[in-house]
Structure 1
Amino acid sequence: MSGLRVIPTWRHGHERLYVCRTDGRNIAWYDREAGRVNLLSEERREDVLAVLGPFVTGPVTVGPPPVPTPAELARLSLHPDDDLAPNRPGEALLIALDRDPGPPRRLRPDPRRRALAAEQTVGAALDRLEGAGWHTLHSVPLPGGDRIHHLVIGPGGLFCVRSLHTRGQRVVVTDPMVAVGRQAPRPLLRGLRADADRASYALTAEVHPLLALAEPSGLAVTTPLGEARVLRDSDLAELARTGGTLKPADVEALHAMARDRRTWSPV
């Protein structure tokens, strides 16, 4: 008997099978998705492969763990309090509503809840880009109490995304003004461009402004928008079809920089 046992775990949504000694220490793990058995010591190679035998599917590569990239090292050294990656869509609004939910009954709906619904709708659409090599950070805090609703990083570049609640309403965009239904037009694109400029400064990379409309009934853009884009939440999947701007290593490096709260303190 080798005295080894196999313990299944989940890490970042992927299953891993760890091989442990009787004292609980790991000596190898099998990443089924990558088709790789990572050995921490060559001395128990045959024992490890024997105990993993019933679990292995298809051909596998056996060897020491791959050397972490600079982006992975930066992530591993990041303090949890400074890591923005776990933020949920609308994280700042969720915290604000938890601290001050407002009166139980009011004549008009709390505008914070409409804004939260928009960020959650848009955020869910952006999170679905993850499988196409994109990363999305939500509620990125900026000095002065401002924040970027969503920052998207992928093969097609970087986008500073602002969510806008437009459910069931027609939106008319006359740069920089945005009119939602019967509401008075507001210069939303001007503020969005300013946020994108701050993100460009923090990341030393070009960041494009993108206004994301949550469930509008219609959209009319009456003037050219230049570098800015306006998309419905249902059209955000178009980003996955863009590429050729950033290599995978650049995407990972920029994501590692952007998820660090300290990156945003000088802007």
Structure 2
Amino acid sequence: MQDLKVTSWQLFGHDRLYVNLPDGTAIGWADRGSGTITVLHPRYRDAVTDALARQVPDLPALVGEEAPAGPQTPPAPPPVPRIPPMRGMRKRGAAQEAPPVRGPAPAGEVARAPGVAPAVEVAPAVEAPPAPSVAPAPKTVDGPEPAAGPVPVAGPVPVVGLAPVAGPEPEPARRRRPAVLPALTPSTDLASRRPGAGLREQLGESGTGALVRAATGALRRHKDADPRRGALAGERRVGAELKRLTRHGWRVLHSVPLPDGTEIGHLLIGPGGVFAVSTDHRPGASVRIGDGTLRTDNGTPQPYELDGRPGARRARAALEAYCAFDVPVQTVLVFTGVTALEVASTPAGVRVFRERQVSVLAPLTGVFTPTQVERVYDVARNREAWLDA
């Protein structure tokens, strides 16, 4: 079930991760404090554990803190079930056996929440001749038989402790295993790249090019007519504004290179998500954005594409290839040097700012945990992750 959503819930001293169906119905949760997982129905057991493992890579360590140590292998199959003399009924006068005593759940087993059907390992299906009018006989997983009581049966769906008649349910869809990145080296670490690195190389402001320009007198005081120099100034301004967000738990990368020679100007990673930031430098202009057009000053509106920018799409594909959870990426467009900016409308997932307005992203939260932020950042800073983007 790839549509399951995992949300964080913290209240009254509890810290839980809830797994919900697409309609918002909760089917299970993980308690970070006690290190237990609760599943509300056994048919969703694998889906709940897979969703939690996909959202929180360090979940096995969390569960293992309170569970007794043991091999991480599936539990041994239960013994041959005891079949009562009469299917689904007790003999009159038979002694009532005491219900099993509750205790700490062993490793690999799901904890039980008060008032909820026990989420335990369901015994393997046993081929048995179908009964025309009698429900399938209960199967004992381990220990004494539980006290008699009404067992709700809704159609052919098996409930806890009952062997399915038509065979086991199909396994829920599982997310493929993330790829493994090579170890980070100084030559593949993008954390040291400066804003506008591609423009710097084109203008000869990096490496030996800067020395050549200084030797030939190219570093002069008068304004350079090359528009790339203004674009580089805009990249520097945006980079400086994004750096302010790092005090709020955000991570920033600049000039992320792509295989086709282009770059993602800036990549902002934090608790509020991932943003592919690009810069548009229009000095002294008044800009209006709306309905897929851009109008400068009093000119005629021109087509201006916002939602079709490849940066966010390619960043999501590259990051999700190495993360065990979804990594949605939004687009941010920052105008620099403008005298006024009017934003009439933007597509979903696209934000348009002036350079000083990017600070509104600082308080955004609820998308990633601190552990996930660091995982996304570790992937994004590795140049090898972008070779197939």
Q: How much has 1:95 moved relative to structure 2?
A: 1.8
* Paired residues of 2:278 and 2:332 also in contact (CA < 8 A): yes
Q: Using the alignment, how far apart are the partners of 2:262 and 2:308 within structure 1?
A: 11
The alpha-carbon distance between structure 1 residues 264 and 110, as it changes in their structure 2 partners (threshold 3 A), is: same
Alignment-mate amino acid for residue 227 of structure 1:
G
Equivalence for 1:93: 199
Matching residue of 2:146: none
Equivalent in the alignment of 1:187: 304
Give the alignment of 1:114-133 within 5 angstroms. Answer: 114-133=230-249
Aligned to 1:168: 284
Q: Can you list the C-alpha shifts for 1:165-224, whole angstroms capped at 9, x where unaligned?
A: 1333211112433344458735342453x2111111111211000101114211112234
Contact persistence 1:175–1:189 (CA under 8 A) = no
Q: CA deviation at 1:85?
A: 0.5
Deviations 1:22-51 (A, max 9, x none): xxxxxxxxxxxxxxxxxxxxxxxxxxxxxx
Q: Equivalent of 1:256, from 358, 366, 378?
A: 378
Instruction: Indicate if the aligned counterparts of 1:209 and 1:227 stay in contact, CA closer than 8 A.
Output: yes
* SS at structure 1 position matched to 2:335: strand
TM-score of the two chains, using structure 1 as the length reference: 0.65
- CA–CA distance in structure 2, aligned partners of residues 258 and 217 of structure 1: 34
- Give the stretch that moved more between structures: 113-122 or 87-96: 87-96
1:75 Cα deviation (Å)? 11
- How far apart in 2 are the matches of 1:183 and 1:81? 47
Structure 2, gaps ≥5 residues long:
1-179, 321-326
SS for the counterpart of 2:260 is helix
* 1:77 Cα deviation from its structure 2 partner: 3.9
Q: Is 1:238 aligned to residue 360 of structure 2?
A: yes
Query: Is 1:155–2:263 an aligned residue pair?
Result: no
**1:33 counterpart residue number:** none
Larger radius of gyration: 2
Larger RCO: Structure 1 or Structure 2 (Cα < 8 Å, ≥ 6 residues apart)? 1
Write 1 or 2 for the structure with the bigger share of strand: 1
Contact 1:166 1:180 in 2 (8 A): no
Letter in 2 for 1:85: A
Whether 1:218 and 2:335 are equivalent positions in the alignment is no
Aligned equivalents of 1:134 and 1:122: distance in 2? 15
**Whole-angstrom CA distance in 2 between matches of 1:208 and 1:250:** 17
CA RMSD of aligned residues (A): 2.8
2:190 alignment partner, SS class: coil
Residues 236 and 154 (structure 1), Cα distance of their counterparts in 2 relative to 1, 3 Å cut: same
Q: Which amino acid letter does the alignment assign opposite residue 110 of structure 1? A: D
* Residue in structure 1 matching 2:317, options 201, 224, 242: 201
Q: What is the aligned counterpart of 1:229 among 328, 343, 351?
A: 351
Asked if 1:78 is matched to 2:184, the reply is yes
SS state at 2:333 partner: strand
| 3-state SS in 2 of match to 1:80 | coil
Segments of structure 1 that go 5 or more residues without pairing to the other structure are 1-73
1:109 to 201, 225, 233: 225
Call closer, same or farther: CA 1:185–1:225 in 2, change over 3 Å.
same
